[in-house]
Amino acid sequence: MNSNRAHDMKLIQNSVAMTVTLISFGMLFATLFLGYFLLRFNSPTWPPVEIQNMPQLIPFLSTLVMALSSVTYYLLEKNGPQRKLMWGLTFILGLAFLALQWSLWGALKSSGILVSNGMVPSIVYGFTWLHAAHIVLGLIALLWIGCLIFMKSPSLTSFKLMNVGKFWHFLGVVWLLMYLMIFVL
């Protein structure tokens, strides 16, 4: 069997599996968004109860951080020599995103927006919790890739890099949508 064909086959297998996986994760978030739209459009006014001092700066920053981390991951996949640096940047940006979310929850609380205050707080907290939980999964995957990179492990294939990357970019897109829905529109 020639190795080119084996490579193509592996590429197909990985792409199929990852596509299905992302569809599954996508449906989870799509359901949240569906809920958001149903609640929003069935409500005579939006927000139904006046929400004051919704933090704006922090979520904007987390969006920037998320976007940057996608760029650094892209560079990590692209070039060999700066791999370690790019991996480090991606990982730190990921952690920074989590830290920002943490401070977002704190800011919400200190401006009086508590979890049990109704629909909008439910959405803000519930959605960001779920997304943050997936970021934790993503960081674990990044950590695994990092171990392989630093140990110069031969089992670090381009497929692994590709799959983890797809997942990370996917989380970025989900965050962008959430940000637009919750904080901008």
Partner 1 sequence: MAFVEQHIHDAPTSFWSKYLFSFDHKVIGKQFLWYGIFFLMVGGLMAMMIRWTLAYPGVPFPLIGNLLFPHTGGVVPPDTYAMLFTMHGTIMIFFAITPILIGAFGNFCIPLMIGARDMIFPTLNMLSFWFSMASGVLLLASLCLPLGAAAGGWTSYPTLSTNLGQPGMGQTLWLLSLFLFGVSSTMGAVNYITTVITLRAPGMDYFKMPLTIWGIWLTSILNAIFVPVLGAGLLLLTFDRVFGTTFFLAGAAATSGRGDPVLFQHVFWIFGHPEVYILILPAWGIVSDLLSFFARKPAFGYKMTALSLTTITVLSTVVYGHHMYTTQMSPLLTQSFMTLTMLISIPSAIFFANWLGTLWKGSIRFHSPMLFSLGVVFVFGLGGLTGLYLASTSIDLYLHDTYFVVGHFHYTMAASVLLGGFAGTYFWMPKMFGRAMNETLAKWHFWLTMIPLNGIFTGMMVVGYAGMHRRLYNPFIYEFMNKLIPINQFITYSAIAMGLAQFVFLYNFFKTIFFSKNEPLASDNPWEVGTLEWQIPSPAPHYNFKEIPHVKCGPHEFGNPNLKTGRDFQYQTEELVEVK
Q: Is the Cβ of residue 88 or residue 118 nearer to partner 1 in the bound state?
A: 118
In the complex with partner 1, the residue whose CB is nearer, 27 or 140, is: 27
Query: Which lies closer to partner 1 via its Cβ, residue 26 or residue 88?
Result: 26
Q: How many CB atoms lie within 10 A of CB 163?
A: 19
Shortest CB 171 distance to partner 1, Å: 15
**Site size for partner 1 (CB under 8 A):** 42
- Per CB under 8 A, 5 contacts partner 1: yes
Does 52 sit near partner 1 (CB under 8 A)?
Answer: no
Neighbours of 14 (CB within 10 A): 17
The half-sphere exposure of 68 on its side-chain side, counting CA atoms within 13 A, is 17
How far is Cα 170 from Cα 29, in angstroms, rounded to an integer? 11
The CA distance from 69 to 66, in Å, is 5
Interface residues for partner 1 in 94-153 (CB under 8 A)?
115-116, 118-122, 125-126, 129-130
In one-letter notation, the amino acid at residue 166 is K
Determine contact, residues 59/118, Cβ cutoff 8 Å: no
Q: How far apart are CA 135 and CA 36, in angstroms?
A: 21
Residue among 37 and 150 whose Cβ is closer to partner 1 = 37
Token pair listed for 40? 């929003």
158 binding partner 1? (CB under 8 A)? no
Instruction: Return the structure tokens found at 174.
Output: 């989900």
* 88 belongs to the binding site for partner 1 (CB under 8 A): no
Mask of contacts with partner 1, 12-31, x by CB under 8 A? Answer: xx--xx--xx-xxxxxxxxx
Could you list the residues that contact partner 1 (CB under 8 A)?
1, 5-6, 8-10, 12-13, 16-17, 20-21, 23-32, 34-35, 38-39, 42-43, 47-49, 115-116, 118-122, 125-126, 129-130
